Structure 1
Amino acid sequence: MDDRPVLVLGSTGYVGGRLVPLLLERGHKVRAAGRSIEKIKSRPWGNNPNVEAVQADMHDAESLKLAADGCRAAFYLVHSMGRPTRDFAEQERDAAYNMVRAAGKANLERIIYLGGLGEDLDDRPLSKHLRSRAEVGRILTLGPAKVTTLRAAQIIGSGSSSFEMIRYLADRLPMMVTPTWVRTKAQPIAIRNVLGYLAGCLENDETAGLTLDIGGPDILNYTELFKLYSEVAGIPKRHILPLPFLSPRLSSFWVSMITPVPMTLIRSLIDGLRNEVICRNDDITRLVPQDLLSCREAIRRALEKTEHQKVETCLFDVGSACMPEWAGAHDPDYAGGTRFDMGYKARLQGDPKKVWEVVQRIGGEQGWYYGDPLWRLRGFIDRILAGPGMSRGRPHGDKPKVGDALDFWRIIASDEGKRLLLLAEMRLPGEALLEFKLETHWENAVDISMTARFLPRGLTGILYWYAMYPFHVVLFKNMIENISSHAGTHVYSPPERIRND
């Protein structure tokens, strides 16, 4: 086997996060690329001796070239779906051209790209996102590397956007009013089979330079998928009423209010469902033979992993875990714009380890230790504004990792027993951080602090900060006291305002 590493772009995403351990299992060396090395290192496979973590940005050609240098092949598993931007097609185009340049400079032999199924027809043109995915595939072929394009429809697996949308809608709504997209035929594929095809293409040179359609054995529409899910989940049959005048935008809104899937991603999924996505060739079944899971079996396995809290990756894994530049700046306040911060600290008597255990359990069903109705109200407003809201919850287990989504925050730093730093992903007129810090002074004494930092965007951002300030004062003081109570410690020194002057 070639000893050179394989580059995985999108290594901490839904597909990439599952592909890396499979490649390692098959004996490949992996160079895992991402914007945050800390996020890569925090994955279960991140410290494997056969994994090299590198920092790379798809919009930074030089970083891509360095990431690809010395590799024999690359998996291109990145996309802009779900990101709140109107120029996603231009971003995807820019990233693809950067990849072509990097592949040429690094003498990459192969690129394996996961795109989307669908044909651009006169009476039913491709959606913007499917058209963009097809364009990316064409751009990648402009370079010297041989490109294998795998075109897939909906991916069914625990944590996938398609599966989670079906699961939450079916679990929560006995009756659904939908647009006519529920009648469009599709050929879903299990995530297990997607991973098998990706790894198989790397190991079979015959697939180089080919465009291959991948799908499961079943062709069905969303009405049939909802029915199948209800049977497997053991819930009553769901009734669906398709309405021709229900627009994709309106559908996206109500689906986002019911499910934790981001509205921007839902809009892309629903808009794409007007296109029939069925495999036009089955060459992949000869080149990379494997047992294909039926939709019933794929749903059953996804439900089992969800119920046993063994979801390896999920759609919420996509997101930046990088520290904002402004947060690390030490310039005077008048240099580089206005920045606000406020916080409270207290000294607790008790076991510091128990205090940390309580801190890292924050969010999700546990809540935020004070004012949960206020947090939920803020989350509801955020969902109306097309933000993530509180519906994402927290990752499974008591030890969230760097890069994990936590309600409408994302963890960008976690120093065991000392620090938890969250980056706000809710809709805001600016950027915000929330930091918890613990400092142990002696065996049974620990200082705990909570600090909010905010970089406002324009006058709206400044007004927002001052409007929220009274709520922060009440929340922070009581959250610290309740964290102490949950940890079984005594508040030796009551919460007081942190002074920065």
Structure 2
Amino acid sequence: MRCLVTGATGYVGGRLVPRLLAAGHEVRCLTRDPRRLRDVPWAPKVDVALGDVARDVGLAEALAGIDVAYYLIPAHGQDPIEDADRLAALNFAIACEAAGVQRIVHLHGPQPAGREAGDIFLRCAVPAVVFRAAMIIGSGSASFEMLRYLTERVPVMLAPAWMRNRVRPIAVRDALRYLVAAAAVFPPPVNRAFDLGGPDVLAYVELMRRYAQIAGLRPRALVPVRGSAPWLSAHWVGLVTPVPHRVARPLIDGLRRDAVGGEHDIARYVPDPHDGLTGFDTAVTLALRKIGAGDVETRWSNAAVPGAPSDPLPTDPSWSGGTVYRDERTRAVAAPPERLWRVIEAIGGDNGWHSFPLAWSVRGRLDRLVGGVGLRRGRRDPARLYVGEALDFWRVEEIVPGSLLRLRAEMKLPGRAWLELRALGDGRGGAVYAQRAIFLPRGLAGHAYWWAVAPFHAFVFGGMARNIARAALAGS
């Protein structure tokens, strides 16, 4: 099938495209800004059409020769944008009819504006399959990120009435499975909406409690209060999390009533997997998967095709993927990269950390006081390191000889931390030293810890960068 995907720079669309390609379909992406697709690895395999659904620009050209058209543009659901949402859906429906498209596929959440777009497609002349998903679980999904941030950052909070309503979330991998199937398995007469959801039906407060347990957080205290006030809740979300108010408001509006769906008719056309649909706990575990610092900034190019749908993508919004704190520093070194590398590989143990010895000693002693390993493990060899061995209160997670040393912290922390040291050539015989400290906070204590120690980073990490560069220059 020849498929057009709108919203390919969005959460679902960016994960759908490579799966359509893997299923043997030809794909064209409609976008207002082709530059946003420049860095995705599947870009050379698709046609990119410039256009704007809201302004009815480029639709005829983008839909020419298309069999199945995916409408994955999220609805804003707030006045006066509601009229623009309806107009965009109507423009798309008319253009699909004029182009002779065989099917429209649409996915929307529980918000009313999304349902309106679905109704428009179901009333047009082109058969449509409309999927209704109350909540998609995957790193980058707006509804999941709101759940993630609220749970991690607010250990005690008031729970308005909408938080006690039930929802039936679906893992992104299952939602994508249905979307891919929609390109081929539905017979032409099918023109209807289908409810999508996983095996679990839970109140939002229970979702927060289950998330906290899976993420290793202390139990959250949720105090029930009367009333909903979704506008106030949306402002609260915007205040305490990176999720913008304009994104949170339609999500909360959609949860003002139970969002559990009333049927599972989709199984008549796309049978459930042999091991069943993905449960909430498993979906959250997959969404939180970060195997070392290399996956903190997970890109689609780092995953095997068709990839891990729960992982973040380059096109995901900046507030998705959970909080990641970084301290990054670079220094030019007038010495060959191999000399810089010798200094990097020899770091730690009796050789020291090239930075404010008292601070490292105090940190090691504090770690031992709370039951950690401290600095007592030292290093096995004064000049060579291997993956998996201990290095003071770090563990060597990755080493690329001559280029990269990545250490994973094993001290007691309210979160997870890595330290990356790199030796890069500057193309002129010299070197560039690149240093990156990464911290993934766990709960409110993790955020407090980072900001408490941040004022000392200039002394600790800044001093390390300067002294490593000096040591390489001196030939030590």
- TM bin (shorter chain): 0.5 to 0.7
Q: 2:116 is matched by which residue type in structure 1? A: E
> 2:24 maps to which residue?
27
> 1:203 maps to which residue?
184
Deviations 1:419-474 (A, max 9, x none): xxxxxxxxxxxxxxxxxxxxxxx9699xxxxxxxxxxxxxxxxxxxxxxxxxxxxx
Q: 2:193 is matched by which residue type in structure 1? A: T
> 1:138 maps to which residue?
119
Q: 1:296 is matched by which residue type in structure 2? A: D
State the shift of 1:41 in Å: 2.6
1:158–1:306 contact (8 Å) kept in structure 2: no
1:160–1:314 contact (8 Å) kept in structure 2: no
Residues 276-287 of structure 1: pairs in structure 2 closer than 5 A: 276-287=258-269
Secondary structure in 2 matching 1:304:
coil
Aligned counterparts of 1:486 and 1:177: Cα–Cα separation in 2: 49
Aligned counterparts of 1:151 and 1:201: Cα–Cα separation in 2: 14
> 1:116 maps to which residue?
109
Change (3 A) 1:488 1:263: farther
Aligned counterparts of 1:206 and 1:217: Cα–Cα separation in 2: 26
Q: 1:75 is matched by which residue type in structure 2? A: Y
1:17–1:313 contact (8 Å) kept in structure 2: no
Aligned counterparts of 1:275 and 1:260: Cα–Cα separation in 2: 25
State the shift of 1:228 in Å: 0.9
Asked if 1:104 is matched to 2:86, the reply is: no
State the shift of 1:246 in Å: 5.7
1:13–1:315 contact (8 Å) kept in structure 2: no
Aligned counterparts of 1:136 and 1:318: Cα–Cα separation in 2: 23
State the shift of 1:318 in Å: 5.6
> 2:316 maps to which residue?
317
Residue number among 214, 217, 224 corresponding to 1:235 in the alignment: 217
Asked if 1:73 is matched to 2:71, the reply is: no
Change (3 A) 1:218 1:487: same
> 1:89 maps to which residue?
82
1:81–1:268 contact (8 Å) kept in structure 2: yes
Residues 147-162 of structure 1: pairs in structure 2 closer than 5 A: 147-162=128-143
Aligned counterparts of 1:486 and 1:178: Cα–Cα separation in 2: 51
1:158–1:164 contact (8 Å) kept in structure 2: yes
> 2:457 maps to which residue?
none
Residues 260-271 of structure 1: pairs in structure 2 closer than 5 A: 260-271=242-253
Aligned counterparts of 2:260 and 2:270: Cα–Cα separation in 1: 19
Q: Which runs of 5+ in 1 are unaligned?
A: 118-129, 320-347, 352-441, 446-483, 490-501
Asked if 1:57 is matched to 2:39, the reply is: no
Change (3 A) 1:81 1:173: same
Aligned counterparts of 2:201 and 2:264: Cα–Cα separation in 1: 14
Aligned counterparts of 1:86 and 1:317: Cα–Cα separation in 2: 25
Secondary structure in 1 matching 2:202:
coil
State the shift of 1:24 in Å: 0.8
> 1:416 maps to which residue?
none
Aligned counterparts of 1:65 and 1:142: Cα–Cα separation in 2: 20
Q: 1:71 is matched by which residue type in structure 2? A: I
Which deviates the most, 63-72 or 167-176?
A: 167-176
State the shift of 1:89 in Å: 1.0
Aligned counterparts of 1:284 and 1:86: Cα–Cα separation in 2: 33
Q: 1:35 is matched by which residue type in structure 2? A: R
Aligned counterparts of 2:135 and 2:192: Cα–Cα separation in 1: 21
Secondary structure in 2 matching 1:105:
helix
Deviations 1:62-115 (A, max 9, x none): 411111111111111002338xx7322111111011112211221101000112
1:178–1:251 contact (8 Å) kept in structure 2: no
2:112–2:254 contact (8 Å) kept in structure 1: no
Secondary structure in 1 matching 2:82:
helix
Aligned counterparts of 2:176 and 2:160: Cα–Cα separation in 1: 32
> 2:36 maps to which residue?
39
Deviations 1:284-331 (A, max 9, x none): 122112331000110111111487433644697369xxxxxxxxxxxx
Give the TM-score normalised by structure 1.
Answer: 0.58
> 1:433 maps to which residue?
none
Change (3 A) 1:247 1:254: same
State the shift of 1:54 in Å: 1.0
Residues 214-225 of structure 1: pairs in structure 2 closer than 5 A: 214-225=196-207
2:109–2:254 contact (8 Å) kept in structure 1: no
Give the TM-score normalised by structure 2.
Answer: 0.61
Residues 400-419 of structure 1: pairs in structure 2 closer than 5 A: none
Aligned counterparts of 1:204 and 1:305: Cα–Cα separation in 2: 34
2:75–2:114 contact (8 Å) kept in structure 1: no
Change (3 A) 1:244 1:7: same
> 2:271 maps to which residue?
289
Secondary structure in 1 matching 2:167:
coil
1:13–1:313 contact (8 Å) kept in structure 2: no
Secondary structure in 2 matching 1:61:
coil
Change (3 A) 1:161 1:350: farther
> 1:253 maps to which residue?
235
Change (3 A) 1:350 1:70: farther
> 1:9 maps to which residue?
6
Change (3 A) 1:306 1:112: farther
Secondary structure in 2 matching 1:240:
strand
2:162–2:228 contact (8 Å) kept in structure 1: no
Aligned counterparts of 1:287 and 1:249: Cα–Cα separation in 2: 39
Aligned counterparts of 2:333 and 2:19: Cα–Cα separation in 1: 46
Secondary structure in 2 matching 1:159:
coil
1:18–1:312 contact (8 Å) kept in structure 2: no
Secondary structure in 2 matching 1:74:
strand
Aligned counterparts of 2:256 and 2:185: Cα–Cα separation in 1: 34
Aligned counterparts of 1:9 and 1:182: Cα–Cα separation in 2: 32
> 2:422 maps to which residue?
none
Count residues with an aligned counterpart. 318
State the shift of 1:349 in Å: 11
- CA RMSD after TM alignment: 3.1
Secondary structure in 2 matching 1:202:
coil
Secondary structure in 2 matching 1:15:
helix
Change (3 A) 1:32 1:229: same
Percent identical residues: 36
1:152–1:213 contact (8 Å) kept in structure 2: yes
Q: Pick the structure with greater CA Rg.
A: 2
